[in-house]
Amino acid sequence: MQVPDGWYPDPTGRHELRRWESGRWVDWVATGGQVWMEPMPPPPASGGGTLTTEPVVNAVRAGATWSLTSLNGGPLATATVAGRTTTVLDPSGTPTHQLRAAVAGSTEVLSLHDRTDREVGRYEEVRRASGRGFRVVGVGALLATLDATPNDPTRLALTDPGGRPLGRLTGRGGSWTTELAHPFGSPLGELAALAALAVTLAWD
């Protein structure tokens, strides 16, 4: 189960799009309809990237604080909840993201902002006959859907726009496990890793 080859929002934030091929980012970028080559920069030495290198993220809430850990229990991040806003911090305590909830009409919209306050994605609630779910949107592009499993609200399936499975969330309220089948570092990395926080902020 891999992310299909194609153009996706540039994870570096320097261009509108970057090409994803054979399970990795390549050097082709595009902005304003112009295409050229620019090497993918190396990942930062620390801060902000840890969540997107883990295939499993456990999220447990105690009061107003979330702890996000890897499969083996290693710390990945913490998050603090204040009203309709959740702030994510890396293991050193540096803020990396902020998740903000708002209501548009009768549905929840949760926007994810990076440390520079740039919106890097959003979760848009949808209601279907089969149950509630979310559209997971990158910078202007639908990246995935997150839907409750019929007859089991404790399991949500993450699928790409073509309906192919990308992973799942299992849990409820203050305890979730996110298992992802797509390559981390893809456009869905941060949005998928933090989906449990968004679901809880919207539904609880």
Mean pLDDT score across all residues of the chain: 80
Nearest to 47 by CA among 76, 74, 16, 72: 76
The C-alpha atoms of residue 120 and residue 178 are separated, in whole angstroms, by: 20
Percent of the chain with pLDDT over 90: 12
Q: What is the pLDDT of residues 160-175, one digit of tens each?
A: 887 878 888 898 778 8
Domain 47-203 superfamily per CATH: LURP1-related (2.40.160.200)
- 46: pLDDT strictly greater than 50: no
Q: Where are the beta strands (DSSP E) in 22-64?
A: 24-31, 34-37, 56-62
- In the chain, residues under CATH classification 2.40.160.200 are 47-203
Take residue 103 and report the two structure tokens written for it.
């209501």
- Identify the weakest region by mean pLDDT among 96-100, 131-135, 177-181, 185-189: 185-189
Length of the chain: 204
pLDDT score recorded for residue 187: 55
Question: Has this prediction a pTM greater than 0.85?
Answer: no
| C-beta atoms surrounding 90 within 10 Å | 20
- 193: pLDDT strictly greater than 70: yes
Percent of the chain with pLDDT over 70: 83
Take residue 164 and report the two structure tokens written for it.
């192919």
Q: Is residue 156 a contact partner of residue 168, using CB atoms and an 8 Å limit? A: yes
